[in-house]
C-alpha cells in the first residue's frame, strides 16, 4: 500500500545529510502535482500505479546522486521557477545577490532603461530575473553552450520575458561592441584541485572549473569589460568564498574604482563589484 503516510516513513529511513528528507518530499509533490498542504491533509491518499512508478524512478535517480533539480527539471530562483537540466548549473540562493546588486545599481543611477549584460547565463536565471524586475531595460544573455541557451530561451518564453536577447559567445568573442550600464556574471571559479568539486559531479564541469586557482575566467571578464562598459558602468562578479582579496586585486589592476565585496548569506565573500573609471 503506497499511501502518503507510508511513503513519509520510507523517506525518513532513506534520508541522510547528502540526501535530505525534503528532496523526497519535493519529488513526491512533483509526481502528484500537488502543494505541500496536500501531504498534510491527505495522509491516506493511495498513489496510482503511474504515480508510484514516477516516484520510484525519481527516487532511484536521487539515490544514485542526481540532484533534485535535475530529477524534476526545475529550480526556484528570485521568486521564479526555472527549467534546468544537465547542461546548466542549478541556480543557488547566494547568486540571487548578483541580481540584487544589478538592480541596486540601476536604482541608484535611476536607470529604468538600463542596458545589462549577463555573461555565462546558463539557465538564464540572472538575466531573466533582472529583465522581469526591470521591464523597460534591455538585457543581453551570453553563453558558450548552445544547449544551455536552449534552456534559457525556453525559460524566457515560460516567464514571458520579451526584453532579453541571447547570443552564443565565448565571453565577449561574438558580442557586437556596445555600451552596458552593468555587466554581471557568475563564471566558473572553482579550482581543479578544490575538494568541494566532488560534490558537484552532476553539474556541467565547464561551468564550474577554471584554471589559475579558479581565477582565469574572472580575469578574462574583468580585462575585457572596459570595452563594453559605459563610463561609470558597473561590473559585478560572483566568486568563491576565499577569492575576495584576489578578485579585488584584479579589479584594481584593471583600473576599477570603488571596488567592494559583498558577503553572502553565510557571511562569506561572494560578489565583488567595481565602477569602470571614466
- Per residue in 33-47, pLDDT tens? 999 999 999 999 999
The verdict on whether residue 272 carries a ligand-binding annotation is: no
Q: Which residues contact residue 218 at a Cβ distance below 8 angstroms, ignoring those fewer than 6 apart?
A: 187, 189, 210, 237, 239, 243, 247, 250
The verdict on whether residue 187 carries a ligand-binding annotation is: yes
| 3-class secondary-structure state, position 90 | coil
- In the structure, what pLDDT confidence band is assigned to residue 78 with cuts at 50, 70 and 90? very high
The verdict on whether residue 123 carries a ligand-binding annotation is: yes
Percent of the residues in the chain that have a pLDDT greater than 70, as a whole number: 99
The verdict on whether residue 91 carries a ligand-binding annotation is: no
Predicted pLDDT at 278: 66
Q: Where are the domains of the chain?
A: 4-72, 79-275
- Pick 79-275's CATH classification: 3.40.50.970, 2.60.40.10, 2.40.110.10, 3.40.50.150: 3.40.50.150
User: In the predicted model, is pLDDT for residue 165 greater than 70?
Assistant: yes
Whether the full predicted model's pTM is greater than 0.85, yes or no, is: yes
- Per residue in 181-211, pLDDT tens? 999 999 999 988 887 777 787 889 888 999 9
Amino acid at each position: 500500500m503506497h499511501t502518503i503516510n507510508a511513503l513519509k516513513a520510507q523517506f525518513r529511513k532513506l534520508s541522510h545529510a547528502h540526501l535530505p528528507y525534503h528532496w523526497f518530499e519535493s519529488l513526491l509533490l512533483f509526481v502528484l502535482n500537488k502543494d505541500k498542504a496536500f501531504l498534510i491533509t491527505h495522509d491516506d491518499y493511495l498513489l496510482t500505479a503511474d504515480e508510484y512508478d514516477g516516484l520510484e524512478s525519481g527516487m532511484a535517480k536521487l539515490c544514485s546522486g542526481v540532484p533534485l533539480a535535475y530529477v524534476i527539471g526545475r529550480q526556484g530562483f528570485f521568486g521564479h521557477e526555472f527549467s534546468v537540466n544537465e547542461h546548466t548549473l542549478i541556480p543557488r540562493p547566494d547568486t540571487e545577490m548578483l541580481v540584487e546588486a544589478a538592480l541596486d545599481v540601476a536604482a541608484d543611477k535611476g536607470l529604468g532603461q538600463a542596458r545589462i549584460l549577463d555573461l555565462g547565463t546558463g539557465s538564464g536565471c540572472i538575466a531573466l530575473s533582472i529583465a522581469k524586475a526591470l521591464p523597460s531595460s534591455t538585457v543581453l544573455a551570453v553563453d558558450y553552450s548552445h544547449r544551455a541557451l536552449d534552456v534559457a530561451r525556453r525559460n524566457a518564453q515560460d516567464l514571458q520575458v520579451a526584453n532579453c536577447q541571447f547570443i552564443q559567445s565565448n565571453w565577449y568573442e561574438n558580442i557586437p561592441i556596445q555600451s552596458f550600464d552593468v555587466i554581471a556574471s557568475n563564471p566558473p571559479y572553482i579550482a581543479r584541485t578544490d575538494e568541494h568539486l566532488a560534490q558537484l559531479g552532476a553539474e556541467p564541469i565547464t561551468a564550474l572549473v577554471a584554471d589559475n586557482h579558479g581565477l582565469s575566467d574572472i580575469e578574462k571578464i574583468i580585462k575585457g569589460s572596459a570595452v563594453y562598459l559605459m563610463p561609470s558602468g558597473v561590473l559585478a562578479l560572483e566568486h568563491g568564498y576565499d577569492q575576495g582579496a584576489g578578485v579585488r586585486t584584479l579589479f584594481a589592476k584593471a583600473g576599477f574604482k570603488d571596488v567592494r565585496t559583498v558577503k553572502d548569506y553565510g557571511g562569506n565573500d561572494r560578489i565583488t563589484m567595481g565602477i569602470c573609471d571614466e
